Amino acid sequence: MINLLDLDKEQMKALFGDRPYRGGQIFRWVFGRAAGVLGEMTDIPKRLREDVAKICTISYPEVADSQESSDGTQKIAYRLSDGRIIESVLIPEKDHWSICVSSQVGCAMGCRFCFTATMGFIRNLEVSEIVSQVLHPLRTYPERSFRNIVFMGMGEPLLNYNNVNKAVRILTDVDGPQFSKRRITVSTCGIVPRLKRLSQDTEAALAVSLNAADNAVRQRIMPITRKYPLTDLMEALRAYQLPNRRRITIEYVLIRGVNDSPKDVRELIRILHGLKAKVNLIPFNPWPGCEFQAPDQRAVLAFEEHLKNSPYTVMLRKEKGTDILAACGQLAGGVIHDGQGIDRFFAESAKLSGKAEEHSSHTDPHILGVHRR
């Protein structure tokens, strides 16, 4: 069976041979209006719909769990057809919503501060599994205005390059959900050889998880640095073709005693020289069993202040969804069932986020049960 959610417009047209306009119509139903079943497609003859149904389905992953944070952030766990779990986060902003999507089940990059890394790499997501993370919220919450998509969930998007690129194409298609290219951000830990290709293939915005301005420090917390040293990464970023007036987002997770000193910020400003960039500071979010600690509030403010006096715009990311482990680097739905005991896990994460009481509702075994295989 073909899942129509895996096909771009050209492929859908090709499916109909000498009647490509029928493919165009179906594309509009599937992606433009997020139709869930062929039966909804009223302008397509019933006979044709029946023929399509013989070889095609519209198959969404099942929602395994949905949790809402006290700040309105919502984490959705999807169960894929092979039983694997991935997570997406819906983030309320002032006048719109952002969707943070996963690109892989698990991740191979092994960043020491990231919870997803503890899962290891399991597999790449199919195009349908990526676009569903956007289409499902569009269908389910028609009253919300979803405007931004960030590939900052589980996985390294540039290591699932073709599917991520195709998903971006579908999500920005004028006959699809019509997201603006500039409102889709692909975030990478810095897969240097793929960066050039990305700037040629898409106009999506780029974010890079830099996290350290010193090669030795970065190597310690991000093993990928061994393969692509900081100097190579910075060179690739300088060469990155940006549309007019666009900038690269530099993400910097502040970790206590690791990369949060005045020397670190001076070094950061130095290596950013000549780059069209803005800096997104993310105070480290702890997770159960991690070796690092959140930075001191004063260190965060000093770091931010220093950057404010540099040529770079700086944004201090206000963390959302920490009480449900939905913040940056806290997604790992797939490891929650690792036999350590679900209650202990949630007790620990509640302690970490300082929201033990609010959290008790999440220890309802009925809700948590879905995390177990």
Which positions are catalytic? 87, 328
Radius of gyration of the chain (CA): 21
Identify which of residues 211 and 349 has a Cβ nearer to ligand SAH in the complex. 211
CB of 210 to ligand SAH, least distance (A): 8
CB of 46 to ligand SAH, least distance (A): 44
List contacts with ligand SAH (CB under 6 A).
113-114, 152, 156, 187-189, 209, 211, 251, 253, 282, 284-285, 287, 328-329
Question: How far apart (Å, rounded) are the C-alpha atoms in residues 177 and 172?
Answer: 7
CB of 224 to ligand SAH, least distance (A): 9
Question: How far apart (Å, rounded) are the C-alpha atoms in residues 353 and 359?
Answer: 9
CB of 151 to ligand SAH, least distance (A): 6
CB of 189 to ligand SAH, least distance (A): 4
Cβ 294 vs Cβ 323: under 8 Å: no
Question: How far apart (Å, rounded) are the C-alpha atoms in residues 347 and 343?
Answer: 6
Q: How far is CA 66 from CA 51, 112, 338, 341, in A?
A: 35, 27, 20, 20
Question: How far apart (Å, rounded) are the C-alpha atoms in residues 341 and 343?
Answer: 6
φ, ψ for residue 263, nearest 5 deg = -65, -40
Q: Which distant-in-sequence residues (6+ apart) come within 8 Å of 15 by Cβ?
A: 2, 7, 23, 56
Q: How far is CA 308 from CA 43, 255, 277, 280, in A?
A: 56, 19, 13, 12
Identify which of residues 124 and 211 has a Cβ nearer to ligand SAH in the complex. 211
Identify which of residues 3 and 353 has a Cβ nearer to ligand SAH in the complex. 353
Reduced to 3 DSSP states, what percent helix, strand and coil does the chain have, rounded to the nearest 5? 45, 20, 40
Identify which of residues 40 and 296 has a Cβ nearer to ligand SAH in the complex. 296
Question: How far apart (Å, rounded) are the C-alpha atoms in residues 280 and 329?
Answer: 15
CB of 200 to ligand SAH, least distance (A): 20
Alpha helices in 240-339 (DSSP H): 262-271, 297-308
Identify which of residues 3 and 187 has a Cβ nearer to ligand SAH in the complex. 187
Question: How far apart (Å, rounded) are the C-alpha atoms in residues 341 and 299?
Answer: 35
Identify which of residues 65 and 156 has a Cβ nearer to ligand SAH in the complex. 156
Question: How far apart (Å, rounded) are the C-alpha atoms in residues 117 and 332?
Answer: 8
